[in-house]
Amino acid sequence: MANQLLTDRTALVTGASRGIGRAVAVALADAGAEVVVNYARSPEAAAEVVAAIEEGGGRAYALQADVSKEAEADGLIKAALERSGSLDVLVNNAGIIRDGLLMRMKTADWQAVMDLNLSGVFYCTRAAARPMLKQKRGRIVNITSVVGLMGNPGQANYAAAKAGVVGLTRTSAKELASRGITVNAVAPGFIATDMTKGLENDALLKAIPMGCLGQPEHVAGAVRFLTADPAAAYITGQVLQVDGGIY
């Protein structure tokens, strides 16, 4: 365990049972935080993340909640506060894709992505801001995407939601800054996770100046900097791209 910058702090990561969320949870535990591993439907995977953190000398526990539902998001924040006593870091990572061309996209697929990828970020941020305002400190990081900045055919719903996260991030940052709370976003490019399986091809790799997909740990490193590093204390309302130069 190196650089224990989050000792005596609690960090909640939504959608932390796999992929980028898992890597972020491990990185924040490595920085000393007690990590709340949120999951929606995979208790076994969440338990494995908790076990991995504990094996590395860290502290973690899992909490189930579908943050696309307002009541469950509120309940998640409440449960974390009751168990840990404070909430110092929130990473809004949970997200899904329901790809399809605009003209063929089902309304249900549009709404499902908006509900989790955008509304879920709003619900959790609003709920977490209350205790952070009282303690006059907090760091919030929202995982957006370069797709929300540049668009991508077949992902109108995902791009719209992730663009919305950028606007929400910048507005939240302005509203909360005076109470010592920073709000930033990290915009991954194409990262090697379950979500991008099958996408890797010569055309995509040629579009990425660094010539390869990113790893979840690359995104986790950016989140760790924004949440755990004192050097990030004056950074708020920003979007940090971790994309190999694709945008």
The residues assigned a catalytic role are: 158
How far apart CA 165 and CA 180 sit, in angstroms, is 21
In 3D space, the residue among 140, 40, 145 whose CA is nearest the CA of residue 94 turns out to be 40
Helix-strand-coil split of the chain, %, nearest 5: 50, 15, 30
Strand partners, 136: none
Residues in the chain: 247
Q: What residue has token string 């992902």?
A: 155
CB 19 within 8 A of CB 194: yes
Can you list the alpha helix ranges (DSSP code H) found in 31-103? 43-55, 70-84
In 3D space, the residue among 11, 63, 8 whose CA is nearest the CA of residue 40 turns out to be 63
In 3D space, the residue among 184, 218, 174, 1 whose CA is nearest the CA of residue 90 turns out to be 184
Q: At how many degrees (to 10) do helices 120-135 and 70-84 cross?
A: 30
Q: Which amino acid is at 92?
A: N
CB 161 within 8 A of CB 149: no
